[in-house]
Structure 1
């Protein structure tokens, strides 16, 4: 069996090795290119034509909702 010096060394290795690996391999530059690729896939650049269609659809839905609200208010008055 080893002495207390060996036990302290083993404990330092048990704690220091995973912490050291985590520090070395969890640096941002390892993930930067990977994250940029994922971000480009998930959030593609906006297309002006698509945004125009989306705004038109949003305007139509808001107008429809407003008309329904006005109709509900008129029936409530009667």
Structure 2
């Protein structure tokens, strides 16, 4: 068995070793390149043409729905 000095050294090592490893291995410089590469593989940049086509289709659907609502309002007003 050791004295209290040995216990203090052991406790300091028990505390600094995991904290030091956490500091060293969780630095963004080590894995930033891999994360960005994987992100580009999983989520490619948006296709502007596809987005424009989608927005145009949504707008056409809205106009068609508004037209149907107007026609429905005319029909229901005529029945009264």
2: distance between equivalents of 1:20 and 1:14? 10
Normalised to the residue count of structure 2, the TM-score between the two structures is: 0.72
Unpaired runs of 5+ residues, structure 1, are none
Using structure 1 for the length normalisation, give the TM-score: 0.73
- SS of residue paired to 2:2: coil
Give the Cα–Cα distance (whole angstroms) in 2 for the partners of residues 22 and 31 of structure 1: 14
Cα distance per residue 1:15-59 (max 9 Å; x no partner): 100000000111111111111112212331222321222112221
Write out the 4+ residue segments of structure 1 that deviate beyond 3 Å after TM superposition. Answer: 64-72
Number of matched residues? Answer: 76
- Measured on the aligned residues, the alpha-carbon RMSD in Å equals 2.4
- Which entry has the higher C-alpha Rg, 1 or 2? 2
